[in-house]
Amino acid sequence: MTWRKFSGDIIQLPIIDEVEKAIERETLLGNKLKVCIGTDSQVKGTITDFATVIVFLREGRGGFMYIHQEKSLQKMSIKERMLTEVQKSIDISYRLCDLLDLYDVDLEVHADINTNPMFKSNQALHEAMGYILGMGFVFKAKPEAFASSCCANKMVQ
């Protein structure tokens, strides 16, 4: 699984090692961190582009992110696609949660799902929320889910 920085530089280390290195570096600089993980997707013809991001927020000092992109040829309903996005976010959150706990870094999982029933993505809201909360993670949906709806969204545009 290839991850990269926003600059486009490929991350050579396994993502868990890169995240630990980033936490140690930022802690030495005196930054209090929070991590938000989210995934967004966009259908382009027969291809669905997915982007998952790990966003590091430095309290009062901006942030940075790591990005993983992949494509799928599988045809999905909107609900399936929303839940696939959540699955991708949970996968990386689960891989990182012990490390983040060790360094006392808060973690949120962001779902690109609208809380307004007028939007199609809303049909996946209850399942996504149950899935994320059931895994023990903090859940955020639109409009608070900036990791998925803003950061990851920019990667699939």
Bond prior to 143 in cis (omega within 30° of 0):
yes
CA gap 151, 128 in Å, rounded: 19
| Residue 6 burial (C-beta neighbours within 10 Å; 0-12, 13-18, 19+) | middle
Q: For residue 81, which of 54, 53, 51, 107 has the smallest C-alpha distance? A: 51
The three-class DSSP label of residue 75 is coil
Q: Which residues of 19-30 are buried (b: 16+ CB within 10 A; e: fewer)?
A: bbebbeebeeee
Q: Per-domain residue ranges for the chain?
A: 4-156
Rounded CA-CA distance 50/42 in Å is: 7
Interatomic CA distance for residues 26 and 58, integer angstroms:
8
Judged against a pLDDT cut of 90, whether residue 120 lies above it is answered with no
CATH for 4-156 (3.60.40, 3.90.1530, 3.30.420, 1.10.155): 3.30.420
Q: What is the pLDDT of residue 86?
A: 96
Write out pLDDT tens, residues 23-56. 999 999 999 999 999 999 999 999 999 999 999 9
SS3 11: coil
The pLDDT assigned to 114 comes to: 87
- The kind and range of the H/E element at 85 are helix 78-102
Q: What is the pTM of this model?
A: 0.94
pLDDT one-digit tens code per residue, 68-111: 999 999 999 999 999 999 999 999 999 999 999 999 999 999 99
